[in-house]
């Protein structure tokens, strides 16, 4: 139970705001991007405006020194990378790409991973934490569910995004470092692209594009 009515109102507004932005993201994935491809700018503008209104700084969002939490997470990331590469080698599913394409794809995955982690944690986890201040254990669960739903109907990515979003939210709440999470996201995402055949990953498509031939 919240301590006062005004505080309760603030919490509910944070939840309503997050629900609105998440609905707009799903609308973009499923409809807007095919008809209004630049509409994502307006959605991002709403998110940025939310930070400005609340006075959230870059440091508060998690855009701080890279070293924070890196040493603790590096062994686990290296193990995951080794397992993914081993799976690709054992089952002979490594994608045939040139070194140039592999490097450029990896760099792009890291930038895309940083952006996704910013939206997931810098925005949604912070809003969920504001919405559920006394139920902090529910925040990573809610983040994982939303992250998974954003990858529908690709069952392969949804199955990865559910625990992945949960773990990333837990790590963010502990270290609040988007750079490390973005790099980890980029490494794992690139290796999944490199190892998982299109017959399973469906070329990592989500939304209506998933129904097209891989």
Nearest to 130 by CA among 7, 44, 26: 7
Q: What is the pLDDT of residue 11?
A: 82
How confident is the prediction for the chain on average, in pLDDT?
91
Q: Which of 46-55, 66-75, 115-124, 194-203 has the lowest mean pLDDT?
A: 66-75
Q: Can you give the pLDDT at residue 157? A: 97
Report the distance separating Cα 146 and Cα 5, nearest Å. Answer: 28
CB proximity list for 165: less than 8 A, separation 6 or greater = 120, 140, 143, 144, 145, 146, 147, 148
pLDDT confidence tier of residue 209, bands split at 50, 70 and 90: very high
Q: What is the pLDDT of residue 2?
A: 33
Task: Provide the 8-state DSSP code for 150.
Answer: T
pLDDT of residue 3: 39
CA dist., res. 180 & res. 58, Å (int) = 15
pLDDT at 7 over 80: no
Residue 9 is predicted with a pLDDT of: 46
Per-residue model confidence as pLDDT tens digits over 16-44: 999 999 999 999 999 999 999 999 999 99
Q: Any idea where the domains of the chain sit in the sequence?
A: 5-211
- Give pLDDT tens digits for 138-194: 999 999 999 999 999 999 999 999 999 999 999 999 999 999 999 999 999 999 999
C-alpha to C-alpha distance for 18 and 15, rounded to whole angstroms: 5
- pLDDT value at 211 more than 70: yes
- pLDDT computed for residue 213 by the predictor: 65
Q: Count H helices and E strands in the chain, helices first.
A: 11, 0
């Amino acid at each position: 139970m919240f301590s006062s009515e005004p505080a309760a109102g603030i919490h509910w507004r944070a939840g309503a705001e997050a629900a609105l932005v998440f609905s707009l993201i799903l609308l973009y994935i499923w409809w807007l991007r095919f008809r209004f491809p630049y509409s994502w700018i307006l959605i991002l503008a709403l998110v940025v405006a939310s930070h400005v209104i609340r006075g959230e700084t870059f440091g508060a969002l998690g855009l701080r020194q890279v070293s924070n939490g890196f040493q603790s997470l590096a062994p686990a990331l290296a193990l995951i990378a080794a397992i993914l590469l081993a799976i690709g080698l054992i089952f002979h599913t490594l994608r045939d790409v040139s070194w140039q394409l592999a490097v450029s794809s990896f760099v792009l995955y890291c930038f895309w991973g940083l952006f996704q982690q910013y939206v997931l944690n810098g925005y949604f986890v912070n809003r969920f934490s504001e919405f559920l201040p006394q139920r902090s254990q529910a925040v990573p669960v809610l983040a994982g569910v939303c992250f998974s739903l954003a990858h529908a109907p690709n069952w392969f990515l949804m199955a990865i995004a559910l625990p992945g979003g949960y773990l990333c939210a837990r790590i963010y709440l502990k270290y609040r470092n988007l750079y490390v999470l973005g790099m980890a996201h980029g490494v794992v995402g690139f290796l999944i692209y490199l190892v998982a055949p299109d017959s399973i990953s469906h070329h990592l498509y989500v939304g209506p594009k998933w129904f097209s031939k891989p």
